[in-house]
Amino acid sequence: MTTRDHCLALDAADALAPLREQFALPAGTIYLDGNSLGVLPKVTPARLQQVVADEWGRDLITSWNKAGWITLPQRVGDKIARLVGAGPGELVVTDSTSANLFKVLSAALAIQHAEAPRRTRIVSERGNFPTDLYIAESLARQHGAELVLVDDAHALAACLDERCAVLMLTQVDYRSGRLHDMAALTRAAHDAGALTVWDLAHSAGALPVDLQGADADFAVGCGYKYLNGGPGAPAFVWVHPRHVERFWQPLAGWIGHAAPFDFTPGYRPAPGIARYLVGTPPILSLAALECGVDTVLAAEPFGGMAALRAKSLALTRLFIELVEARCAGHGLELVTPRDEALRGSQVSWRRAEGGYAIVQALIARGVVGDFRVPDVMRFGFTPLYTRFVDVWDAVEQLRQVLESGQWRRPEFNQRSTVT
Amino acid sequence: MTTRDHCLALDAADALAPLREQFALPAGTIYLDGNSLGVLPKVTPARLQQVVADEWGRDLITSWNKAGWITLPQRVGDKIARLVGAGPGELVVTDSTSANLFKVLSAALAIQHAEAPRRTRIVSERGNFPTDLYIAESLARQHGAELVLVDDAHALAACLDERCAVLMLTQVDYRSGRLHDMAALTRAAHDAGALTVWDLAHSAGALPVDLQGADADFAVGCGYKYLNGGPGAPAFVWVHPRHVERFWQPLAGWIGHAAPFDFTPGYRPAPGIARYLVGTPPILSLAALECGVDTVLAAEPFGGMAALRAKSLALTRLFIELVEARCAGHGLELVTPRDEALRGSQVSWRRAEGGYAIVQALIARGVVGDFRVPDVMRFGFTPLYTRFVDVWDAVEQLRQVLESGQWRRPEFNQRSTVT
């Protein structure tokens, strides 16, 4: 049986341990919610002060050129590209995940409409993150397409037929933490004549992603989870070079124009991924996101995403082992796959009752996870800053909450706006 | 003839002069480009530090409730509403001006398609800001509509016929500074059965705007110009209550859902303007924008937008008078209307040659305006922080640049990316 001392020994032997020093972690907290909002990098406040006081306050409009503001979406995009198996110049940071999904799904549908007009289905999972489904539903209404949702991932293969235009999936399920095999599903989709749209919200910065290797078609992702970009950080969009110039994306804003500063009345899309830009880049948010992305790139000398993945799996494996051993008999059911090839960087548990209140009681004890309706308790394990001893201590708090029945107190059962 | 001493006397008598103290203005600079990027409010750096260090760094996800992050788009929206004649709960801050224009123009076209399907024209001006035209062009392609552009504002009335679905205008022209009569044009559009979409990029915070009074249908606007929200600050969107629930806007993201935290697979739009929200709100940018909007609201005890407008006109009037008197014979042609009822808060001049270089030579002397192709020199007069003596000093520098011919030097004639 693993002991707390053993966990401390694992931390002492952890080559990635120094990466934790990059973060301003709140005292007295074990933060297992980096899958919702990543923590603050220590360098971010000073960098933001520099952008605000010097680049904006002192240099004003000259910073568009002098400080490289105008190419910030590409500069930060090239950094993220290194984390997701994309080439330089293939990925930009812009807008929200939802808006980017609107662009790429529009492009995928337009390509299929031109080449295979009888393909009118967007296939996804009913459990996909709602914004993905809402955007697909909106585009389906608009394009006369049909959104087909499966309840079980095993049913996806059967939907890859001559009616399928696009397979749209989130690589790691936000609720269960289940990981899709991007390469295999993309191959199956292509074999069936469909295009793929991947949402990397819970995979970019969490595990190795290889968009080029998987031969994916389109991808979007989130800046504020594992990339530590701050609340509501801008998102990113990638399009395979074979598709990128085949379509005007519908949000044809001036920054995606071939020559924005010519101020010409007719739209002419920029070459490459720059046409997926829309409005004036959000400089403060981009600067904060760059700091966050740099905290992940800092793992490169230590083995990069592969090393982070190994630690992530060691953390989630330990958490499952300890919960099952130390919280046995309390009705917790593992939602996340036990098979590590199918697991993202989070572990979720289901309980017949009290899931919300148990998470609240844990937060009151300084162990921050979150709850997702109807019954899922989620715990994210960000390998950049989570220690093995944190896992031990979190499980000990969970054990005490369950054994004491403390979670039944009224104050832990009051729902707030954001859960 | 106005003298520098007279300008100093005007500043000494200016009841709005204390408002300038709100800003961290760069030393040695006369900044006449607040119409492109507003200056830094003094409170912004400290507020951002608080958001970053305390709300994000320390309180993490609890700030969605505790710090009111989740309602920040509405809170800042309600403040902007006070500046543009909109009611509380009618306006939200979200996305970029371009993306918001996509939403409202989609809504306007959908409403007309349902009620008057033979109205298929979007009418605008060829000189409208390019992003507005590009978004309209994209939607026209998609909806089988037609974008009709006039070269002269006087030709707009003739286009308001039974084919016109939407009249889409920017209230103040970004190049000439010409101001449209929103109430009269909206009335004419409505009389003809058309809907109106107004871009307030150069009017919100610059002059009194009365959306409700003008009976406008839709409006969008920019956060980083006269609202001082910082580079790439988020934009805003307003929809008249009579239209707001008539249409799903196509960017149907989860934050615009009636119950985002129910995580249900089917889209159900939020009541009211909240359905125009899309992805997770950009908290850092919203916090900075709130500081900027507060600098404009600080004018309320001094007479608010009406008082700011009076000063703005006094500044532009003085600038025109001094340039015409002191720079006579140098080929400058006034582009901005001499009629003050038709003038925004900027003054533009045209010159047969050298416009770009003259602006660069002025910037080298600490007088910051900008240049817009093909031949327009723009000077913005933000009444919150521009002094009468600044106008005098700027004109003196312009006089010296012109009389010396210094602008002909090679270093002032090299174009950079952003002009």
Roughly what angle, to the nearest 10 degrees, separates helices A304-326 and A388-404?
A: 30
Is residue B168 domain-resident? yes
Q: Which of residues 296-325 of B touch A (CB under 8 A)?
A: none
Average pLDDT, chain A: 97
Domain that holds residue A19: 4-41+304-412
Query: A68: Cβ–Cβ under 8 A, 6 or more apart, which residues?
Result: A75
Is residue B274 domain-resident? yes
A39–B57 CB contact, under 8 Å: yes
Q: What angle do CA A107, A109, A110 make, to 5 degrees?
A: 65
A36–B61 CB contact, under 8 Å: yes
Q: Return the pLDDT at A254.
A: 97
Residues linked to residue A123 through DSSP beta bridges, in sequence order: A148, A167
Closest in B64, B138, B254 to A267, CB measured = B138
Is residue B53 domain-resident? no
Residues linked to residue B177 through DSSP beta bridges, in sequence order: none
Is residue B105 domain-resident? yes
Instruction: Give me the phi and psi of B126, to 5 degrees please.
Output: -60, -30
Instruction: Give me the phi and psi of A215, to 5 degrees please.
Output: 60, 35
Best of B23, B31, B37 to substitute, by most chain A Cβ atoms within 10 angstroms, is B37
Closest chain B C-alpha to A16 CA, distance in angstroms = 22
Chain center to CA of A146: 26
Same domain membership, residue B272 and residue B154: yes
Closest chain B C-alpha to A227 CA, distance in angstroms = 14
Nearest CA-CA partner of A186 in A159, A160, A153, A214: A214
> Which residues of chain A lie closer than 8 angstroms to B130, CB-CB?
254, 257, 260, 263-265
Same domain membership, residue A216 and residue A105: yes
* Beta-strand runs (E) in B208-298: 218-221, 236-239
pLDDT 10s digits, A243-286: 999 998 999 999 999 999 999 999 999 999 999 999 999 999 99
Q: What angle do CA A412, A317, A17 make, to 5 degrees?
A: 90
Closest in A64, A127, A279 to B99, CB measured = A279
> Which residues of chain B lie closer than 8 angstroms to A234, CB-CB?
282
Q: Output the CA–CA distances (angstroms, integers) from residue B198 to B35, B245, B392, in the order listed.
A: 17, 19, 34
Closest in A40, A56, A235 to B231, CB measured = A56
Q: Return the pLDDT at B81.
A: 98
pLDDT band at residue A387 using 50, 70 and 90 as cut-offs: very high
Q: Which of residues 321-350 of B touch A (CB under 8 A)?
A: none
Q: Half-sphere exposure of B16 toward its Cβ, with a 13 Å CA cutoff? A: 26
Is the CB of A149 inside 8 Å of chain B's CB atoms? yes
pLDDT band at residue A415 using 50, 70 and 90 as cut-offs: confident
Q: Which of residues 168-207 of B touch A (CB under 8 A)?
A: 175
Residues linked to residue B93 through DSSP beta bridges, in sequence order: B236
By residue count, chain B amounts to 419
Nearest CA-CA partner of A28 in A367, A400, A291: A367
Best of A96, A126, A283, A365 to substitute, by most chain B Cβ atoms within 10 angstroms, is A96
Is residue A259 domain-resident? yes
Best of A51, A263, A359 to substitute, by most chain B Cβ atoms within 10 angstroms, is A263
Which three-class secondary structure state does DSSP give residue B259?
Answer: coil
**DSSP letter, residue A94:** -
A133–B44 CB contact, under 8 Å: no
Check: CB of residue B13 under 8 Å from CB of residue B253: no
β B195-199/B164-170 pair status? parallel
Is residue A49 domain-resident? no
Q: Output the CA–CA distances (angstroms, integers) from residue A20 to A4, A35, A294, A369, in the order listed.
A: 19, 16, 13, 19
A52–B39 CB contact, under 8 Å: no
Nearest CA-CA partner of A211 in A246, A192, A239, A172: A239
Same domain membership, residue B352 and residue B222: no
Roughly what angle, to the nearest 10 degrees, separates helices B388-404 and B304-326?
A: 30
Same domain membership, residue A133 and residue A186: yes
Which two three-digit tokens encode residue B138? 């994209």
β A164-170/A121-125 pair status? parallel
Q: Return the pLDDT at B40.
A: 98
Domain count of chain B? Answer: 2
Closest chain A C-alpha to B263 CA, distance in angstroms = 6
Q: Is the predicted pLDDT of residue A383 greater than 70, yes or no?
A: yes
From B263, B282, B297, give the residue that closes a domain: B297
A12 vs B418: which has the higher pLDDT: A12
Q: Return the pLDDT at A419.
A: 56
Is residue B392 domain-resident? yes
What's the rounded Cα separation, in Å, for the pair B229 and A45? 18
Closest in B24, B232, B416 to A65, CB measured = B416
* Chain A to chain B Cβ contacts (< 8 Å): 283
Q: Return the pLDDT at B224.
A: 98
> Which residues of chain A lie closer than 8 angstroms to B416, CB-CB?
65
Same domain membership, residue A341 and residue A207: no
> Which residues of chain A lie closer than 8 angstroms to B36, CB-CB?
61
Same domain membership, residue A161 and residue A82: yes
From A273, A297, A321, give the residue that closes a domain: A297
> Which residues of chain B lie closer than 8 angstroms to A281, CB-CB?
231-232
By residue count, chain A amounts to 419
pLDDT 10s digits, A190-227: 999 999 999 999 999 999 999 999 999 999 999 999 99
Chain A residue with the nearest C-alpha to that of B264: A130
pLDDT 10s digits, A96-119: 999 999 999 999 999 999 999 999
Query: B300: Cβ–Cβ under 8 A, 6 or more apart, which residues?
Result: none
**DSSP letter, residue A154:** G
Closest in B55, B97, B232 to A283, CB measured = B232
Check: CB of residue B378 under 8 Å from CB of residue B306: no
Same domain membership, residue A140 and residue A242: yes
Q: What angle do CA A300, A304, A305 make, to 5 degrees?
A: 150
DSSP readout, A246-286? S---S---GGGBSSGGG--SS--BPSGGGGG--SS--HHHH
Which residues of chain B register pLDDT less than 70? 417-419
Q: Return the pLDDT at B419.
A: 56
Chain B residue with the nearest C-alpha to that of A53: B45
What's the rounded Cα separation, in Å, for the pair B122 and B113? 12
Same domain membership, residue B379 and residue B279: no
Q: What is the CATH number of the domain that holds B115?
A: 3.40.640.10
What's the rounded Cα separation, in Å, for the pair A258 and B402? 34
Which two three-digit tokens encode residue B117? 């399907």
Is residue A63 domain-resident? no
Chain A residue with the nearest C-alpha to that of B73: A232
Same domain membership, residue A17 and residue A91: no
Of chain B, the end-to-end C-alpha distance in Å amounts to 34
Chain center to CA of B389: 25
Chain A residue with the nearest C-alpha to that of B46: A49
Is residue B265 classed exposed, middle or buried when 0-12, 13-18 and 19+ CB atoms within 10 A define those classes? middle
Same domain membership, residue B205 and residue B307: no
Chain A residue with the nearest C-alpha to that of B289: A284
Check: CB of residue A300 under 8 Å from CB of residue A50: no
Chain A residue with the nearest C-alpha to that of B105: A251
Tell me the whole-structure pTM to 2 decimals: 0.98
Same domain membership, residue B316 and residue B281: no
Chain A residue with the nearest C-alpha to that of B254: A131
Q: Which of residues 65-94 of A touch B (CB under 8 A)?
A: 65, 69-70
What's the rounded Cα separation, in Å, for the pair A176 and A379? 10
Same domain membership, residue B90 and residue B195: yes
Alpha helix segments (H runs only) across B144-192? 156-159, 182-191
Check: CB of residue B289 under 8 Å from CB of residue B230: yes
From B297, B332, B360, give the residue that closes a domain: B297
Q: Return the pLDDT at B239.
A: 98
Q: Return the pLDDT at B417.
A: 65
Q: What is the CATH number of the domain that holds B330?
A: 3.90.1150.10
Which three-class secondary structure state does DSSP give residue A374?
Answer: coil
